[in-house]
Structure 1
Amino acid sequence: MPLNSRDVFSAPEPRFSAFPSRRSVVHSTKGIVSCTQPLAAAAGQRILRDGGNAADAAVACAAALNITEPASTGIGGDMFCLFYNAKTKQVHALNGSGRAAGNISLDLMRKELGLAPGEDGKIPMTSVHAVTTPGAAAGWVDTVERFGSGKLSLEQILTPAIELGEEGFPVSEFASSFVCCLLL
């Protein structure tokens, strides 16, 4: 039986309007993968079929999206993970955001920005200090190590994305529109 949103959200907020999706309702008792790109979703589904869990499939999807929709997500960015452990009924979070340079300190930043101790300020977007070391790749590794099934290696989880990169794939209209914008 399909899940009715009115059963979950009894009184919709005034700002909420139902999205008239053109897609069919999908049901599964074994797991579902959803993302913006069908080939990336297939990568996650493959990992579930091979014995992986939701964390393994999420990493496979993210890696495949790097190939199929590089403007939407990237290994050179950050990643964040919320993982629900059904056995313990606990939600865990993982922060895969980038890190600042190792030799930077709050005192040094305040000095460079000309701020007195305790004074608020912002790092200018044009400053070298506004750049962080990308955290996505390390976040994927951490996600698989902390929340993964343990049944698949990181190599197995990344294989669908590697195959997409090596063998090629049809570029969607959505992805091509981003590439066109970058080239103009």
Structure 2
Amino acid sequence: MKIKNLTISTLFLTLGLVLHITVPGAVGLMKPDFMLAFFFFALFELQSFREVLVISIVCGFLTAMTTSMPGGEIANVVDKLMTGPLVFYTYQFLINRFNQKITYCFISSIGTFVSGVIFLSVVQVLGGIQLPFEVFLFGIILPAMVVNSLLVLLISKVLERIKPKKEAKLRF
């Protein structure tokens, strides 16, 4: 893993962790996973499957440490390990075919949905859900899809402004 990719991924995951810690548990102690937006941007900067697995594991453990859902520790690691490669390969496939912002919104929506469904499925198997699955789907996952899409657009706008523009090199 290149130092540049590691540093950028670490910064994204740190920002996401701070946001994840500050969001309180909502419906049935589950909270929207806004760390996913930063996780997705960390994945967008990577080049290899090995890097994706490393970042997915790290993100899974970080969210597991800050979860408020009973049984959410295992579910967070499993869902990040499955969502990370899916998002990475979807991004690789779509980025040169569609507008960058459309690709970001689509991937963040689908990635959030898949992550939420995997998380809930694992927690349901572990017996940590007391409410019906649909309550979490409509109360947490769908609103998180919208917020993560908006957050991804905001982050992409910030990144556009801070990335250095390539200037013509003048020789004298």
TM-score, reference length from structure 1 = 0.33
Q: Which has the higher helix share?
A: 2
Q: Which has the higher strand share?
A: 1
- Choose 1 or 2 for highest CA Rg: 1
